[in-house]
Structure 1
């Protein structure tokens, strides 16, 4: 009997080990590059402005540990008004604090290496957006197109277009800085930078969705990134998991099923053993 219990205990321990391994979140997909832009203006090494840039980027990284959005105005001692640096980060609304932090760390690192010496820069990854500049953009509406891309045309598919338009109409309703919706295989997403008011967010998102419908009219997927918001739709949808996580989940389900089956068998054998021992005693 003790042997069976020990075997069951070992199986459960194995299950916990497997769970701890496969449920560790992977953020490789969240770090997929979308776009970057650097200011033409430059700053000199060793100036107060460089110190302000470094300070604002460090502040973004630190703040991302406990929030999915924040903005800063940095001016170290000795700075003049022209040395002030403004910065913000915005993580996707479905990210955990840990994933947000990792994404911002990656974004700041890439931005620092791509926009070396630039007085301003902006970088968008799949999971987060980071920007800094010497001109205040905080709380300022910006509906200019920064990046757009449409997938391949799928020809005539009335059902798909109906579903796509329905999803985008749902997203247009707004009322949130981050909103997702789906119909069948079609999933969509809109997000605003949270320095906008809700009405400004609604206005920006509506503009992004209209442009998306116009430019990607017959495409299987489409992305429309404006200065302070974006709208997207896809047949595959969007997830905070990496591309391999779906296969991992299938593998995990199989393993859990096998281990559960073994556990049930052990319990059954233990019951039979106890039953036969009882009869032998009589």
Structure 2
């Protein structure tokens, strides 16, 4: 081998080792891959035409440090006349485990209309994103995405639903900078299902949780109160804003349009309180 070929070979070995480390199972070598496979089957097939219904919505992608491409969409900040406006900051959404980006992005218009660039990515191994579906890898991906977006925007708003709420809580627990986070219907613990306690959302609450708003629903038919309440209760003890909605179900599964609209308004009002520009 000549020197350039040798260096290339070594680079490939190091890259593969990094990918293997990030994508290792932490919740059981059989259980974790099987559950993610099962959840991904419940997600619809990707269709960019479902998302690209407005010139304000653009395809985007993020390349992780282990060289996996995560694909998604950005809904650009705009006014009521559908003209782009300079963004106050960004909102990054982390999805539930049977959702994909093109299915949800159009429903986030209310956040882009509030003056934020809104980002949503398919998890690795979902839709057209590369990589293996593993909780450790997904958490690491979002830590990197947040760090990257923080370098481009003045305001950092995080929004996670269901599994995405748990992902965001782990990112917050790692110390990523953020101005506010809305955690909607997240499980409180994964350790009950064989995962290490370090990934339990409740164990990633900061001592000062005043930047966090935790929403749960009394009519949640996916995650019951035993699964969601511990995070909400502990978050409130640490200064978080919390709500256990009487008429709320799981996100995007509310039983009435009124309940869905009430949830949307809660989210919009919370993020709208963020001041413009750097503090």
Do both share a fold (TM > 0.5)? no
Higher relative contact order by CA 8 Å / sep ≥ 6: 1 or 2? 1
Which structure is larger by alpha-carbon Rg, 1 or 2?
1
Query: What is the TM-score with the length of structure 2 in the denominator?
Result: 0.25
Considering fraction of residues, name the structure with more strand.
1
Considering fraction of residues, name the structure with more helix.
1
